[in-house]
Amino acid sequence: MKFLDHLTFGQYVPADSPVHRLDPRCKILAVLVVLTGIFLARHILVFAAWGGLLFSLAALSRLPFRLVLRSAKPVLILVFFTAFIHVFFTDGAPLLEVGWVTITREGVFGAVYMGLRLLFLVLFASFLTLTTKPMELSDGLERLFSPFARFGFPAHELAMMMTIALRFIPTLLDETDRIMKAQLARGAAFDRGNLWKRLKAFLPVLIPLFVIVFQRAEDLATAMEARCYRGGEGRTRMSPLVWRSSDTLGALLVLGIVVGLVVGDRSFLS
């Protein structure tokens, strides 16, 4: 159960920081720009610069850096699997040959770069949920999608679904932890035996968890209908979003840093 105590994805951590005070639209756009820059990174020194930016952003957000690093824990398996594929199935100059297994120089570099990309993608994206309230995130997504509403795009409904999904991640983790503790009290063993036995031990957890998920979804739908929720058309907000000069400055600063890193990456490779 210890892995449940270290999952931070989808959780909001309140703090009085410049990043928390930014408009959610600014943070969403900034994350998209940063993720694009990470995809374009191809030099190890540029990845080191991205790491420095990540540390600086955590300090500016007044969040413990260890808490930010926990966000990458759910994707570590994907990172290792991707690195494995690159190391053993990429053609190039051989570095090590053991029987039919050949490790190439291109495979090692590809594994390192792709693993770093995935880690930085998750870590930078986690700042969006760590520093933005779910309702603010919903309003920001809806305002960004609103220009497409004239073409029939369900901006409000999509933003609402994404917000509900993010909001219920911590709740479902708490329910999972509660069910696992109840099963442990009944003698269940989740960390003993081979892989097949461990998977079988999780069945008594998954079944009640699915029941709870559907029950909570039904309760939420009933509560929304009881409050006369009929979609976003004609709805007003108690606290409308206001784009300030600090948001413009923050967006331009992020854009400048990302452009500088991309240009620096190309200069290193040339």
d(CA 89, CA 148): 42
Domain extent at residue 42 = 12-132+241-265
**Residue 59, pLDDT score:** 92
> Is residue 264 scored above 80 in pLDDT?
yes
In a domain, 223, yes or no: no
d(CA 179, CA 230): 34
Average pLDDT over residues 144-148: 84
In a domain, 203, yes or no: no
pLDDT band at 269 (very low <50, low <70, confident <90, very high): low
**Domain count along the chain:** 1
Most confident of 155-159, 198-202, 260-264: 260-264
d(CA 142, CA 240): 12
Average pLDDT in the chain: 82
In a domain, 24, yes or no: yes
In a domain, 246, yes or no: yes
**Residue 2, pLDDT score:** 47
In a domain, 139, yes or no: no
In a domain, 92, yes or no: yes
Instruction: Please name the residue that has the structure tokens 């926990």.
Output: 70
**Residue 82, pLDDT score:** 82
State the SS3 of the chain: CHHHHHCCCCCCCCCCCHHHHCCHHHHHHHHHHHHHHHHHCCCHHHHHHHHHHHHHHHHHHCCCHHHHHHHHHHHHHHHHHHHHHHHHHCCCCEEEEECCEEEEHHHHHHHHHHHHHHHHHHHHHHHHHHCCCHHHHHHHHHHHHHHHHHHCCCHHHHHHHHHHHHHHHHHHHHHHHHHHHHHHHCCCCCCCCCHHHHHHHHHHHHHHHHHHHHHHHHHHHHHHHHCCCCCCCCCCCCCCCCCCHHHHHHHHHHHHHHHHHHHHHHHHHC
> Is residue 209 scored above 90 in pLDDT?
no
d(CA 176, CA 216): 14
> Is residue 3 scored above 50 in pLDDT?
no
In a domain, 216, yes or no: no
List the one residue out of 71, 63, 61 whose CA is nearest residue 8: 71
φ, ψ (nearest 5 deg) of residue 14: -70, 140
pLDDT band at 61 (very low <50, low <70, confident <90, very high): very high
Residues 6+ apart with CB under 8 A from 73: 3, 6, 7
In a domain, 182, yes or no: no
pLDDT digits (tens, 9 = 90+) for 99-113: 677 778 778 888 888
